[in-house]
Amino acid sequence: MICFLWVATPAFTQHILPEQDRARVIDEILAERFNTLLPELMDKTEIDMWILISREYNEDPVLRTMLPATWLNARRRTILVFYRDKSSNTIDKLAVARYNVGENIESAWDKEKEPDQWKRLMEIIEEKNPVKIGLNYSRDHNIADGLDKTDYDEFMQYLPSRFKKRVTSAEQLAVRWIETRTEREMVLFNQLVSITHEIIAEAFSEKVITTGVTTTSDVEWWMRQKVTDMGLETWFHPTVDIQRSNEGLVSHLYSFSGRPEDMVILPGDLLHCDFGITYLRLNTDCQVLAYVLKPGETSAPSFLVEALKKGNRVQDHL
């Protein structure tokens, strides 16, 4: 029998939405983020124009989060322009593209009138006359460094000289856009965490593990398959590793690169997993410990329980 060092949920309680309903929820959340969250973030970071540029199959990771549910990639060169007028409390959401980007971002390019996409972008900049133009380049934050050199060079080549000094890194805006969640997203996030813990609870049960037979790799691949069968995705491969009292302590990197891949799970083992799912464009990342009871044991050893309590206290302080 396997004893969790946390309270396990025995059965699946969250309903997984079909694809069409997922798309509706994603687009509703996106509209709220554009209309409510984005103006607030632009005001806080003092960037009144944010320009995101990507080409198909080489998407800026931030721009990808702004695409509607039915867009799996950017289309050709996709240019998004967000202009915040704080004095009138408005935000323009424009696409220098031949079509609207979903229901939230309106096309602002008539190719018949102006065949050159870059020139049309410059017209918008001239019209809005922003104080700061944020672009996604960053030395310190990789997720905010999605603008490739080719597009940056072309943008700067077309940009009128009087605007060049107004260009700045949008790294703080990009990071805050990624890290900030709306109230509705937090409700959904709790559901994702419940689903994640429920999968782990089943993975670390006698339904999946037969001591002396099942290996850590078996459990990892069971988790991957379970996620696929549920119609979900993982954003990294699960890891399951074992700590044993008769073996020396190792680095935390052991879980990822130094551990044997097929350790057979035995009574007395302390199991550890690192596992997450992707659902409704949200990701979880959960680590859980479970103890495999020895014959005659009914609970985990007290020293393990106390160690977990102390670790959790440190975690709370951090």
Is 48 inside a domain boundary? yes
Across the strands, what pairs with 90? 85
On whether both 29 and 46 belong to a single domain, the answer is yes
On whether both 300 and 169 belong to a single domain, the answer is no
Listed residues 147, 179, 211: the one ending a domain: 179
On whether both 164 and 297 belong to a single domain, the answer is no
On whether both 247 and 265 belong to a single domain, the answer is yes
On whether both 174 and 187 belong to a single domain, the answer is no
On whether both 164 and 239 belong to a single domain, the answer is no
**What distance in Å separates the CA atoms of residue 300 and residue 77, rounded to the nearest whole number?**
57
On whether both 231 and 132 belong to a single domain, the answer is no
On whether both 158 and 272 belong to a single domain, the answer is no
The pTM of this model reads 0.84
Is 275 inside a domain boundary? yes
On whether both 203 and 217 belong to a single domain, the answer is yes
**What domain range is 120 assigned to?**
20-179
**What distance in Å separates the CA atoms of residue 52 and residue 48, rounded to the nearest whole number?**
13
CATH at 111: 3.40.350.10
Is 49 inside a domain boundary? yes
On whether both 65 and 208 belong to a single domain, the answer is no
**What are the angstrom distances between the C-alpha of 258 and each of 189, 253, 255, 265?**
32, 7, 7, 17
Q: What pLDDT score does 248 carry?
A: 59
| pLDDT tens digit at each of 318 positions of the chain | 666 665 555 455 678 999 999 999 999 999 999 999 999 999 999 999 999 999 888 889 999 999 999 887 777 899 999 999 999 999 999 999 888 988 999 999 999 999 999 999 999 999 999 999 999 999 999 999 999 999 999 999 999 999 999 999 999 999 999 999 999 999 999 999 999 999 999 999 999 999 999 999 999 999 999 999 999 999 999 999 998 866 655 555 555 555 667 899 999 999 999 999 999 999 999 999 999 999 988 888 888 888 888 888 888 887
H or E element at residue 54? strand 49-55
On whether both 155 and 214 belong to a single domain, the answer is no
Radius of gyration of the chain (CA): 25
Q: How many domains does the chain have?
A: 2
On whether both 285 and 203 belong to a single domain, the answer is yes
**What distance in Å separates the CA atoms of residue 318 and residue 266, rounded to the nearest whole number?**
33
CATH at 221: 3.90.230.10
Question: Could you tell me if 173 and 47 are in contact, meaning their C-beta atoms sit under 8 angstroms apart?
Answer: yes
CA 158 to chain centre: 33
